[in-house]
Chain A
Amino acid sequence: MAATEQELHEFREEVSAWMKVNKPADPDFLLPQSFMEVGDERQLEFLREWQFRLWSAGYLGMAWPKAYGGGGAEPVFQSIADQEMRRHNVPICFNVIGLGWAGPLIKDIGTEEAKAKYLKGILNAEDIWCQGFSEPDHGSDLGNAQTRAVREADQYVLNGQKIWTTMGNFAKYMILLARTNPEAERKYDGLSFFLSPMHVEGVETRPIRKITGEYGFTETFFTDARIPLDCLMGEEGQGWKIAMQTLQYERGAEAGAAGGLSMIRVTVQDMLDSLQGVCRDGEPVLEDPVVRDAVVQAIMEEKALMLGLRRMGIGPLNTDYPGSIALSSKLRASEVTRRLRQLAIGLQGAEGGLYVGDPAARQGGFWQRAYFNSFSATIGGGTSQVQANIVAEHILGLPK
């Protein structure tokens, strides 16, 4: 039976009260703003502990089956919990590849054994997941991935290399896209999807230092690594289809994701707050006419995104190019975010040149680091240029 307004309201109050009490104090190091920024053990342990607490309180995986560590509730409860997390600005749930990709997939099309084996560990953060899609020579052209998986008796033998594996060095499992049939007519049809263990012989990770100076993603090498046959999701040759299916979970709890914040939103208001005391030509920076105009444009960009999400839900206002707001939202949001952070640094005056580690850096160098990290979203998950191709082809109907 559907929950009543009253129940939902009470639930919201309850979550809100819990968040108020349980929101962790800021540690003495910068926390990741997204799961692609988890760089060291301190951050990892902090976030792991937070996710565990959230799950223990019953606010994560609320709509997943009880038998596998979930709450068995209607998805709307998780949506409310997520909204309250956003409102209270609590830390992220870092195990995103598990919560938003592998988990929902296992829940929806996995075997009974897979559900029992993986789901709970995803929710309580015991098992960290990573994603092995990109390869050195095949990034945007993901459908051309060449890492091989060859079936031998009761095992698959893996050979090849993945790269840019976020949290590859922390992860216990990987969702892996590998080629089972190099002869397939369409490159996509030769791919298969695996739930692959990281801690087996022949799998080796090597950390890559990031633009921020920190670590956080790895190269991942497969040298005759043997994994059990039941690591295969679906059937051989369905890899691409399954990978595409995971995209729908980005729409949140209602679409099957476990919940929790995957990234912290940084707003124009945050930027304005960060500029306290900054001067330009001897006057407060926000009195400078050129700066004001730049800020107005940033406000409009941010507002347009939020209004778009509102308009998206109104059918009669989406008849022109249906689906355009949804399909362009990743492209837009990531680019708006990048530009905002770039602007924020530019407005800091000479302090804009300082970085994390300098005691005088504004907010500990938060904006400088956040700007660099914003490229994780304009490059990762399909670059902005590739996203533009997708929008052009699918929404405008332009040729490939």
Chain B
Amino acid sequence: MNLIGHTELRFTEEQAMLLHVAQEFCRNKSPAESVRALLESDVGYDVSVWQEMTELGWSGIALPESCGGAGLGVGALVPVVESTGRTLLASPLISTALAGQLLLRAVGPDKAEPWLSRIVGGAVATVAWLESNDWGDSNIKVTLDATGQLDGQKRFVSDANAADFIVVPARRNSEMVLAVVSADMFPESALTLNTLVDLTRRSANFNCSGIRLTPENILAGDAVEGALADTRLLGALLVAAEAAGSAGACLDTVVEYLNTRKQFGKLIGAYQALKHPCVDILMELDSARSFVYHAATVVMDEVLNEAAEAACRMAKVQANDVLSYAGDRAVQFHGGMGFTWDCDAQLYIRRAQWSQQQFGDPLHHRKRLAALLLD
């Protein structure tokens, strides 16, 4: 396949409807005051809003109908996640959706059914992806021994504090397995909360040592490794979609200020030193949304092909680059106000810093794109 010239981009009526509903929902449920209020909260999100989201079926959009999901694929999740990004709505949606995708892809709908139905029913789930700070390190050191006991540490586990279960990739001898750890299987002290740059997020280090699992909580098979790789790409896509949404909101914030603040007797938006970077942000944002929806078109329920891989990586590169740029300029273009806690620019620049480090930053993905496209 010619990856360079591949430009498929479709948007179904279902996706359009989801986008519309999600935009409205997020506007209503996540106004600026709510975002601010949640920054300081323990759990990090509004539990009743999350419940409404699960009742709308969003955590099961991409899960098969046999498990109670909508069977619409990951592409249908993209407009929803973009909308949550737009209003900085905090929720464990991405973590939960990825845990579902990982289980589904690793062992199929029948074996994963008990977990997937819990997700559809409103459970919060997450995946413990990292052990070091290197997204390129696939050498997993957490082990599962013959008695079903885990040993090792995971880091940066998103939404671990709220999770009903955590999917822990582990090595059993030379084989990769998934240990599904319920919250009641470990003491609270196993989690150490991280202090994050983005206060709309929560993550924790997870000490798995000593946790004992029964066989039904251990999922193994040939597809596990592929599922891990594919789900990480989907993670990159969903975080990209969310970042694109946040970048759009950030641009709105900047434009609004440029249209109200006056200096030297005129609106500062008339100065090209501010105006032209806004156009650059707009164009880069346009690209980000194009890549995100291109990826949403080509990711499939089955094993991801090269086109899907390239699309997810490009989406991540572009969306993070524009959010980082927009957040950075948002601070600068607010002057002294931009340096304050009260200015929303801080929310976006913080989101940008956090977001780019999820599932690999733009340089990580560009390096892999080079191999995909040029070798």
Contacts and interface: CB of A to CB of B under 8 A. Distances in A.
A304 B311 CA distance: 11
Contact of A396 (B282, B286, B289): B282
B272 A391 contact: no
Interface of B: 4-5, 7-11, 15-16, 19-20, 248, 251, 255, 258-259, 266-267, 269-270, 272, 275-276, 278-279, 282-283, 286-287, 289-291, 293-294, 314, 317-318, 366-367, 369-370, 373-374
Given A300-B318, A316-B20, 14 more contacts: A295-B374, A299-B373, A300-B287, A300-B317, A311-B9, A317-B19, A320-B248, A321-B282, A388-B279, A391-B283, A396-B251, A397-B255, A398-B258, A400-B270
A385 interface: yes
7 contacts: A300-B317, A304-B286, A311-B286, A314-B10, A321-B286, A396-B255, A398-B259
A385 B290 contact: no
A304 B290 contact: yes
Given A308-B286, A324-B282, A392-B276, A398 B9 contact: no
A5 B374 CA distance: 38
Contacts of B275: 388-389, 392, 396, 398
B278 A398 contact: yes
B279 A328 contact: yes
A150 interface: no
A297 interface: yes
Contact of A398 (B270, B286, B289, B373): B270
Contact of A306 (B7, B276, B289, B373): B7
A398 B274 CA distance: 10
A81 interface: no
Contacts of A392: 269, 275-276, 278-279
B276 A388 contact: yes
Contacts of A320: 248
A280 interface: no
Contacts of A391: 279, 282-283
B291 A307 contact: yes
* Chain B binding surface SS class: helix
A399 interface: yes
Given A292-B374, A296-B369, A316-B20, A332 B283 contact: yes
A303 interface: yes
Interface string A117-128: 000000000000
A345 to B, nearest CB: 19
A94 B26 CA distance: 52
Contacts of B8: 310
Top 10 nearest A-B pairs (CB, nearest first) are A304-B287, A307-B290, A292-B370, A310-B9, A398-B269, A316-B16, A392-B275, A399-B270, A306-B7, A399-B267
B255 A296 contact: no
Contacts of B255: 396-398
A314 B283 contact: no
A19 to B, nearest CB: 20
Nearest to B4: A299
A399 to B, nearest CB: 5
A23 to B, nearest CB: 21
B278 A396 contact: yes
B7 A310 contact: yes
Contact of B7 (A307, A325, A385): A307
A385 B366 CA distance: 29
Nearest to B317: A300
B290 A311 contact: yes
A235 interface: no
A311 B292 CA distance: 11
Contacts of B11: 314, 316-317
B272 A389 contact: yes
B286 A325 contact: yes
Given A292-B370, A389-B272, A307 B279 contact: no
Contact of A324 (B20, B286, B374): B286
Interface in A376-400: 385, 388-389, 391-392, 395-400
A4 interface: no
A391 B370 CA distance: 33
Nearest to B255: A396
A304 B318 contact: yes
A58 B358 CA distance: 56
Contacts of A269: 4-5
A217 B283 CA distance: 32
B279 A300 contact: no
B5 A328 contact: no
B286 A328 contact: yes
A316 B19 contact: yes
A269 B283 CA distance: 23
B366 A293 contact: yes
A325 B373 CA distance: 26
B290 A300 contact: no
Contacts of B282: 321, 324, 328, 391, 395-396
Contacts of B270: 398-400
Contacts of A395: 282
Nearest to A392: B275
A311 B290 CA distance: 6
A314 B7 CA distance: 14
A388 B272 CA distance: 9
Contacts of A328: 279, 282-283, 286
B276 A296 contact: no
A199 B270 CA distance: 45
Nearest to A332: B283
A268 interface: yes
B4 A303 contact: yes
Of listed B7, B291, B293, B367, residue having the most chain A CB within 10 A: B7
A286 interface: yes
Contacts of B369: 296, 299-300
Contacts of A299: 4, 369, 373
Nearest to A315: B16
A331 B279 CA distance: 10
A388 B275 CA distance: 8
B302 to A, nearest CB: 23
B44 to A, nearest CB: 27
B314 A293 contact: no
A165 to B, nearest CB: 29
Given A308-B290, A317-B11, A293 B278 contact: no
Contacts of A295: 370, 373-374
Contacts of B287: 300, 304, 307-308
A399 B9 contact: no
A328 B369 CA distance: 27
Contacts of A307: 7, 9, 287, 290-291, 294
Interface string A193-230: 00000000000000000000000000000000000000
A314 B16 CA distance: 10
Contacts of A300: 287, 291, 314, 317-318, 369
B23 to A, nearest CB: 8
A267 B360 CA distance: 29
